[in-house]
């Protein structure tokens, strides 16, 4: 599934196909995200996760609607390496603290969804739909004190647009973050991806649309429904984006340490 600014989610096909393809093309880590779980209080899709952890042998992280220690425990038992928390952490920071104490910093990551309103970056929850009233940098400071192993920041207004990461934002965040920092939202031209590594000092980038639309394949044999309209009528000319290997080779050629 893929949206723009965390809205208008589009069905792009079978997650098993994408995970297998990405693994074969040397992705470093795979993230599975239940995009409606927090909003609609739905359950984590454990079956999909477990099926894929048995087939791909890179780090797997999972987020979206994780609300209990029981869910975290189940995810780790079926092969997940890292669990990513957002809404539940904002609502109850002590829950996040407890998870880190039980499972360790390297196992628990925090995703922070943020957007600039009236000149100030604010934290959002429920897939970018609910304003928390908490300032981004205040929350970053609090999260770091809880000793999480990784902070993933999603720039809501850039997400899904492929126009480039908000490098100025990540420069500011990097000055306030000692924890591993991952940029998410807006991956676009490869030159911009190189720039965010060179200029902002992020440790990693999270990419969805740029890869999804490159590897996308049509599925005209499927029953036509509203949710799969796009892939049913997909023309190969509409495919865009970059392959994983193409991006990695470009970054390595320009001095970024990547695994090839």
CATH topology of domain 2-253: TIM Barrel (3.20.20)
- Domain segments of the chain: what residues? 2-253
The mean of the pLDDT values for the chain is: 85
Per cent of the chain over pLDDT 70 is: 81
Q: Which two tokens stand for residue 121?
A: 């970056």
pTM (2 d.p.): 0.86
Q: How far apart are CA 42 and CA 36, in angstroms?
A: 7
**Is pLDDT larger for residue 190 or for residue 40?**
190
Written in H, E and C, the secondary structure of 179-244 is: CEEEEECCCCCHHHHHHHHHHHCCCEEECCHHHHHHHCCCCCCCCCCHHHHHHHCCCHHHCCCCCH
Written in H, E and C, the secondary structure of 101-128 is: HHHCHHHEEEEEEEEEECCEEEEEECCC
SS3 28: coil
The pLDDT of residue 214 is 84
pLDDT in tens, 140-192: 999 999 999 999 999 998 877 778 999 999 999 999 999 999 999 989 889 99
Least confident of 52-61, 73-82, 118-127, 140-149: 118-127
Q: How far apart are CA 232 and CA 223, in angstroms?
A: 8
The pLDDT of residue 158 is 84
The pLDDT of residue 116 is 93
Counting other chains too, the contacts that 207-211 makes at CB distance below 8 Å and 24 or more residues apart are 207/247, 208/2, 208/160, 209/2, 209/160, 209/162, 209/241, 210/162, 210/241, 210/242, 210/247, 211/22, 211/241, 211/242, 211/243, 211/244
Q: How far apart are CA 87 and CA 67, in angstroms?
A: 8
Q: Which two tokens stand for residue 103?
A: 């499972």
pLDDT in tens, 183-234: 999 898 899 999 999 999 999 999 988 898 888 765 545 554 444 544 445 5
Measured in degrees and rounded to the nearest 5, phi and psi for residue 128 equal 75, 15
Q: What is the mean pLDDT of residues 58-62?
A: 95
């Amino acid at each position: 599934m893929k949206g723009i600014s965390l809205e208008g989610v589009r069905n792009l096909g079978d997650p098993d196909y994408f995970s297998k393809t990405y693994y074969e093309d040397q992705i470093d880590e795979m993230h599975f995200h239940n995009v409606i779980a927090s909003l609609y209080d739905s359950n984590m899709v454990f079956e999909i996760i477990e099926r894929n952890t048995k087939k791909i042998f890179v780090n797997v992280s999972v987020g979206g609607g994780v609300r209990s220690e029981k869910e975290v425990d189940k995810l780790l038992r079926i092969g997940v390496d890292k669990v990513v928390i957002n809404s539940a952490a904002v609502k109850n920071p002590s829950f996040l603290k407890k998870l880190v104490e039980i499972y360790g910093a390297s196992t628990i990551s925090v995703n922070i969804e943020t957007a600039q309103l009236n000149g100030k970056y604010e934290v959002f929850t429920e897939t970018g739909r609910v304003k928390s009233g908490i300032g981004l940098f205040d929350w970053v400071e609090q999260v770091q004190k809880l000793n999480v192993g990784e902070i993933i920041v999603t720039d809501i207004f850039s997400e899904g647009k492929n126009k480039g990461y908000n490098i100025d934002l990540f420069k500011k965040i990097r000055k306030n973050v000692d924890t591993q920092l991952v940029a998410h939202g807006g991956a676009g031209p490869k030159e911009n991806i190189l720039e965010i590594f060179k200029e902002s000092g992020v440790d990693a980038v999270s990419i969805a649309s740029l890869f999804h639309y490159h590897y996308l394949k049509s599925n005209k044999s499927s029953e036509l429904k509203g949710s799969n309209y796009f892939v049913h009528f997909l023309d190969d000319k509409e495919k865009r984006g970059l392959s994983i290997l193409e991006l990695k080779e470009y970054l390595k050629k320009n001095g970024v340490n990547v695994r090839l």
